[in-house]
Each structure stands twice: as structure tokens, then as C-alpha cells.
Amino acid sequence: MKIPDKNNIYPIKNYNRLCFLKNIITNPNIIVGDYTYYDDFEDVGNFEKNVKYHFDFLGDRLIIGKFCMIASGVQFIMNGANHKMDGITAYPFNIFGGAWQKVEPKLTELPYKGDTVIGNDVWIGTNVTVLPGIKIGDGAIIAANSIVTRDVEPYSIVGGNPIKLIKMRFFKEKIQELLTLKWWDWDIDKITENLEYLTKRVEE
């Protein structure tokens, strides 16, 4: 049997609501690993539209690892959404130009959370919102409709607004074993040969 082609935009025959995401990305500050897919109820072109407030002059990146599963309606809020908050008002007068531009803040004066980094083998459910600078660890699962306000530990399941830990997927020793294994970095032929191992139930 043929291995799915990582460079195929639509890897499921006759179904264009799911894509291998890296193949449709146009923004150089969005970096996506092989075999990560995005499934959209309407149009996979919505993905970049849902990366909000992502301004070139800030330079922040959205980095997504390999073999991630991203559902419809997921939004990433980037650093451009942040306002300067140490004055009497947080109102961004300067963006309207004219006489108001005189109070344009320096980049160093703006809240900046850094890159948003999604690990490998991460499942992000429908309508999740991820705030700026969040780090989501390998193997994590984010429940539908959640607001990700803080970093997420590897192989944890989180949900809610704001997110809370629901449970860890596996026991501590198994998580450490998997983080060392890094199966997503294997050659694709090796992954294919070990699918039964990778998908079988993990015993407690």
C-alpha cells in the first residue's frame, strides 16, 4: 500500500475540507510540520484567516509541529492583539494616525509574549482559542471550545475557559519514555512499519 504523500494538499480522495496544512500556508511566519492536518467545516483557506493580529513588524511566529490534528474554528491570537496597559488608558490612539500618532509606543513598550509553539502529535478541538505566546507540549489534547490561557504540559488533556487540567494521558514514566522516543521524527517508512505499536492501547 502507498504511503500518504506529505506534499499532497488534500490527502483524502474526493474530500477537500481536510488538508495537510503546510501545503497551503503562505505566511513565512507560520511554520508547520509534515503530516499536520487541518479540517474545516467550510474551507481550509480559513486557517490563515484565523491566525489573528499577526503583524509582520512584530515578527512573532506560529510554529506547529508534525502530526498535529487541528479542528475547524481553531483561532490563534498573536501578539498584535496586545495593548500597552501601563498608562491611564489602554486605548491605542496611535493606530488612527494624525495628531494621535505622537503617542505611538516603541515595540519594547508593548506586551510581547514571544512565539506561539505547538508541539508534535497535538490534537486541538473545534473552536479552541490559543492566546499569544502559548507553548503546547507534545501529545497534548485541547478540548473543544477551550481558551488556552497558559502553557500546556506534554501528554495532558485540558479544557475549559480558562483551561484547566482534566487529566494526564499516561503515567509519568510513560510520558518521559514517549518524549524520549520522539516517534514523529522517525523516517516515514519506520512509522508505517510501526503503526500497530503507535496506535495500540497504552496499558497502565
**b or e along 72-109 (b: 16 or more beta carbons within 10 Å of the residue's beta carbon)?**
bbbbbbbbbebebeeeeeeeeeeeeeeeeeeeeeeeee
162: preceding bond cis by omega (within 30 degrees): yes
Question: Of these residues, 52, 83, 182, 190, which one is catalytic?
Answer: 83
Pairing relation of β-strands 156-159 and 164-168?
A: antiparallel
Q: Does the active-site annotation cover 83?
A: yes
20 backbone dihedrals φ, ψ, rounded to 5°? -75, 110
Q: What are phi and psi of 73, to 5 degrees?
A: 80, 5
- Which triple of cell numbers denotes residue 185? 521524527
List strands edge to edge, sheet with 156-159.
Answer: 18-20, 37-39, 69-70, 123-124, 141-142, 156-159, 164-168
The dihedral over CA atoms of 176, 187, 72, 49, expressed in degrees to the nearest 10, equals 110
Nearest one of 33, 30, 39, 35 to 6, comparing CA atoms: 35
Q: Which residues does the annotation mark as catalytic? A: 83
